[in-house]
Amino acid sequence: MSNASIVMNEKQRVWKEVPIKEVYVGLYDGPHATPPPADDGPVFLGIKNLTEDGHINMSSVRHISEDDYPPWTRRVEPRAGDIVFSYEATLNRYAIIPSGFRGCLGRRLALIRPDPGKVDTRFLHYYFFGESWRRVIAENQLAGATVDRVPLSKFPHFPIELPPLSIQRRIASILSAYDDLIENNTRRIAILEEMARRLYEEWFVHFRFPGHENIKMVESEIGPLPEGWEVRTVEDTFEVLGGGTPSKKVDEYWAGGRVNWYAPTDLTRSGELFMEQSGTQITELGLKKSSARLFPTLSVMMTSRATLGVIAINTTKACTNQGFIICLPNERFPLYLLCHWLKANVDHFISLGTGATFREITKGVFKTINLVVPSASNVQRFEHAVLPMMELVLCLQRKNTNLRAQRDMLLPKLISGEIDVSEAQNVFQEAAE
């Protein structure tokens, strides 16, 4: 008998299919309206706060006033361990409410409160990302006039396959170990980026660089500067490029493309400093036949319209669409000085943006902006100090990419019983090294 047959026989013996209503104590949907926004207060949770990989992103939240909070939580007040999910518009978003969360469900969101005596919450959360559950959602999806939805009236009867609680916990433990490592690496990345940001601010905003006590301050057109520092325009400091889009009507410009071609959504979805691969690639012919321009590895990309001021560094030669300003570092204004100058001045760039529908800063306006070019010695010292931090950031990003790939490979096999738990533990040990 083959190993696959042994696994399937074991699954048939211990796994069982039940309607999902048997493993939760309550199903609740959010209000079908939106309260007035508040400057502070409880969180009004929206679909945008649920990430594709199953977490709650609190980087941009809408608040609800304390006065509005009681009526908006009359149906349910989310608590730690609840699983919140989207049932309309953007489907298949799921997240576990974390400890300390205080807020209410927004439109098109619902939650279930798992019964811990029947299901492990983390296992159930991971199960929602498996093929079996996605197939159930697809089969029950209704096409509406404006958005698709899953009818909550049918939700309690959707089938799920469960092993015994002990196996659920072991599976959840393995998959959580991946997420814990990813989260730990992400925290380290945030600390490193904050250290570099503060160093830039200390040296080049407050002028408290090493040895500043011995440097005389002199007047300039923008105020007192350390002696030997200059005020220049962007145009006189580094080269600026734009992007373009090959015709979508010509398949030869896209099919089989290997040239990274970034769109602003690549950067906004990633949220990472270093970009390794774009969501879409174009061909060499597409590059040649469009206004897109190939720029060198380790340039700085900045979105210049709509979501203005998202910044990232490319790790391969690349090009972009029209929604970018590309900045090319040089010896006098090198990579990490350039990157941190851009990050520090996003609000200024936004203030210079124009447009009725969305704000955009043009290359022409951008080139006229004044900036301070520090002395060559301080530039070199800053790059030397920041380089190890940024190299570690890239290393940790790549580790996270590998961990996500391993987790995503294991997840459907574990929650379907296709592979044994002990086998998955061995895979995790190799990925964690």
The Cα-based distances of 164 to 77, 167, 415 in angstroms read 30, 6, 12
pTM: 0.86
Range 12-162: architecture per CATH: Alpha-Beta Complex (3.90)
Q: Point out which residues pair with 295 in neighbouring strands.
A: 318
- Backbone φ/ψ region at 37: left (φ over 0), alpha (ψ -120 to 50), beta: beta
Hey, where are the domains in the chain?
12-162, 163-204+379-433, 230-373
Strand pairing category for 274-275 and 311-314? parallel
119-162 pLDDT, tens digit each: 999 999 999 999 999 999 999 999 877 788 999 999 999 999 99
Which residues, including other chains, have CB under 8 Å from residue 109's CB and lie 6 or more apart?
Answer: 29, 30, 45, 46, 47, 50, 84, 85, 86, 87
The CB density around residue 293, as the number of other CB atoms within 10 Å, is: 14
On whether the CB atoms of residues 403 and 278 are closer than 8 A, the answer is no
On whether the CB atoms of residues 403 and 181 are closer than 8 A, the answer is yes
207-236 pLDDT, tens digit each: 999 999 999 999 999 999 999 999 999 999
Give the best-scoring range by mean pLDDT among 51-60, 98-107, 143-152: 98-107
10-14, 241-245, 287-291, 349-353: least confident range: 10-14
The Cα-based distances of 85 to 43, 128, 130, 147, 370 in angstroms read 16, 10, 15, 16, 47
Strand pairing category for 324-328 and 239-241? antiparallel
On whether the CB atoms of residues 433 and 403 are closer than 8 A, the answer is no
d(CA 216, CA 128): 63
Annotate 234-245 with DSSP letters as a single string.
STTTSEEE----
On whether the CB atoms of residues 293 and 241 are closer than 8 A, the answer is yes
* DSSP run (H or E) holding 18: strand 16-19
pLDDT at 425: 63
72-88 pLDDT, tens digit each: 999 999 999 999 999 99
Topology match between the domains 12-162 and 230-373: yes
pLDDT at 33: 86
Range 230-373: architecture per CATH: Alpha-Beta Complex (3.90)
Chain mean pLDDT for the chain? 92
On whether the CB atoms of residues 355 and 223 are closer than 8 A, the answer is no
The Cα-based distances of 365 to 233, 298, 344, 346, 369 in angstroms read 11, 24, 18, 14, 7
